[in-house]
Structure 1
Amino acid sequence: MDQQNRHPQDIDITIKNIILPLLESKLMRDIIGIKYKRELDSVFKTTKERRVDLLLELEDDSILHIEFQTKNDKTMLYRMFEYYSLIKMEYKEKTIHQKLIYLGEDKCNMKNTLKDSKLYYEYELIDLKDFQCDDLLESDNMADITFAFLCNVRNREKLFRKALSKLRNLPEQERSDWVGKILTLLKVRPKLREGFKILLKEEPMLEIPPFTIEELKDLPFTAKAIEQLEQEATLKGKKEGLQEGLEKGKQEGLVQAKKDDVKSAILIKFKVLPKELEEKIENTDDIKVLDEMFKKVILASKIEEIL
């Protein structure tokens, strides 16, 4: 998917994290319509790199290309056609199928057919809001339950209950990961997201337990965020360390200047600086004490009054 046309990065990452369990889900069986044999490389290198969301080889040896889209894009028809050309060049003898799954809240208004002279091109466009998936509520696959939030489900209350029930039975880390994935995907459905967040607050059993930094690094959903926070913290630490070093340097310079002032005043007034007195001055780092010593030098009539 081209960088300038990508959906928000956290949603993109979440979709990628869900894709593998999603491939075994009922939702994908309904969408694909036939079993797949393996996932294929989704990167195509031409003059500039192109990456598709998902590329599968199906059991009938055909190729299925799937894109996920969270908002309407006027260029989508031409992008899908470009992807088709790249895939066809790589798999010349294969039949290519393409499906675009629209996840957005707004009405889908993207075109999916191209007619030009003797050319006719078409891909299948699926608006998940219109995709009837009440039967997903009977699935035990968490990916099915997650994507059911974006589908056409008649009984939303049943969906919420099913999701909460499924989440309760998951291990703590896995539960935290899936809650995060659901909340991230629901950024494209703000009202549903707020409703789900309210339910989570009302469910004490689903309170997300505190994790250590190392545990958060092991969670697919939080790993990237933790890595970014650590980088920012390191940068901030370096800046604070530099500032702290500068402040410390200023303080040390001021103390040394005070010591030099006291020693110079003694030498000017008494023409001599006893070693004992010099050591006393050098061992003093308190500016107030050095100021008092300087005053004593000015007021003293003999050097013994300073010792």
Structure 2
Amino acid sequence: MGKQASQYDKIFKENIEAVIPSLMQNVLGITAVEAEELPDDIQHTKERKPDVLKKITDSHGNTYVLQIEFQVADEPKMVYRMAEYYVMLQRKYEIPVEQYVIYLGAAKPQMPTQLDGSWMKFKFRLISFAELDYHIFLKSVRPEEVVLGVLANFKEDSPERALAQIIQRIEETANGDFPLKKYFKQLRVLAQLRNLENNLKDIAMDSISKFVSVEKDAAYLVGLDKGKEIFVIYLLKAGSLTVEQIADIAGVSAEFVKNVQQKQSKDK
């Protein structure tokens, strides 16, 4: 989980500034008329780095520190960490503090959200990403946000239909080949949180003709060993590509393609 968690963390750090305005509006119910970035290190007796830290003035005229944490693990001691944040932020800025933990796991989180001691009472808001409607993210014009739809609730849609729509929307919103590859890779990583790798593999193969600029990423989605052979077979069945073109698309040698081709002929 350590290596995977760092992958998820990297994706959110890359996309955070693009997705925060919409998350505030559509998920947290905050309409910000002014937002000021705050230093993300809070140093007093120890140093903490919140995922999101902003000074917000909302449409009702309220001004406060907004802290958001994205959590992959269902951390039973999260409440103590959030309480530490609260005290340090309140001490540093001396204005109200609003805190949210957005849980990215698939199951319903069990982490406690409040402390109820004799001399201290504290609680934070916990939002489960898996309960959010994925159509919220499909409506976005930002691919950084669209890709997060894979972590949301597909409602009545099958995983295949939902993934196909997410992929299509990424293609529509990504500006150029390089961003398209980037968000396709992010989608692959995030799909692991929902055990959707095989569904995504099938969608990627079925939609390959629409993703000419991300051929090698599609090959990666179906695996690096057996997946390459499967991918070559798929392209051979298309019937419109030369051996050299298939080799280039799949990232293999022409000899590899010919061997697969011969094997397929023998199996018929």
The normalised TM-score by structure 2 is 0.69
Matched residue, 1:234:
none
Matched residue, 2:144:
143
* Counterpart code for 2:51: D
* Counterpart code for 1:69: Q
Deviation at 1:16, TM superposition (A): 0.7
Secondary structure, in 3 states, of the residue corresponding to 1:149? helix
Matched residue, 2:202:
198
Aligned residues between the structures: 205
**Which runs of at least 4 in structure 1 moved beyond 4 Å after TM superposition?**
4-7
Matched residue, 1:51:
49
Q: Which ranges of structure 1 fall in alignment gaps of 5 or more residues?
A: 212-307
Q: Within 2, Cα distance between the matches of 1:140 and 1:85?
A: 37
Q: Within 1, Cα distance between the matches of 2:202 and 2:38?
A: 40
2:133 and 2:152 in contact (8 A); partners too:
yes
Q: Within 1, Cα distance between the matches of 2:197 and 2:91?
A: 41
Write the mapping of 1:1-307 to structure 2, written as runs, cut at 5 A: 8-25=5-22, 27-32=23-28, 33-35=30-32, 36-59=34-57, 60-92=62-94, 94-154=95-155, 155-156=157-158, 157-169=160-172, 170=174, 171-190=176-195, 192-204=196-208, 205-206=210-211, 208-209=214-215
Q: Within 2, Cα distance between the matches of 1:113 and 1:40?
A: 25
Deviation at 1:65, TM superposition (A): 0.4
* Counterpart code for 1:173: F
Secondary structure, in 3 states, of the residue corresponding to 1:62? strand
* Counterpart code for 1:61: T
Q: Within 2, Cα distance between the matches of 1:9 and 1:135?
A: 26
- Structure 1 residues 135 and 9: alpha-carbon distance in aligned structure 2, compared to 1, 3 A threshold: closer
Identity %: 23
Deviation at 1:49, TM superposition (A): 2.1
Deviation at 1:206, TM superposition (A): 2.0
Deviation at 1:6, TM superposition (A): 9.8
Q: Within 2, Cα distance between the matches of 1:45 and 1:118?
A: 25
Deviation at 1:61, TM superposition (A): 2.0
2:149 and 2:166 in contact (8 A); partners too:
no
Deviation at 1:7, TM superposition (A): 7.0
- Structure 1 residues 103 and 130: alpha-carbon distance in aligned structure 2, compared to 1, 3 A threshold: same
1:136 and 1:145 in contact (8 A); partners too:
yes
CA deviations 1:156-208 (Å, max 9, x no partner) are: 45532322222334311010011111122222212x23312321122223252
Q: Within 2, Cα distance between the matches of 1:15 and 1:210?
A: 24
Secondary structure, in 3 states, of the residue corresponding to 2:63? coil
Deviation at 1:34, TM superposition (A): 2.1
Q: Within 1, Cα distance between the matches of 2:216 and 2:203?
A: 19
* Counterpart code for 1:174: P
- Aligned-residue Cα RMSD (Å) equals 2.4
CA deviations 1:267-297 (Å, max 9, x no partner) are: xxxxxxxxxxxxxxxxxxxxxxxxxxxxxxx
The normalised TM-score by structure 1 is 0.61
- Structure 1 residues 150 and 210: alpha-carbon distance in aligned structure 2, compared to 1, 3 A threshold: closer
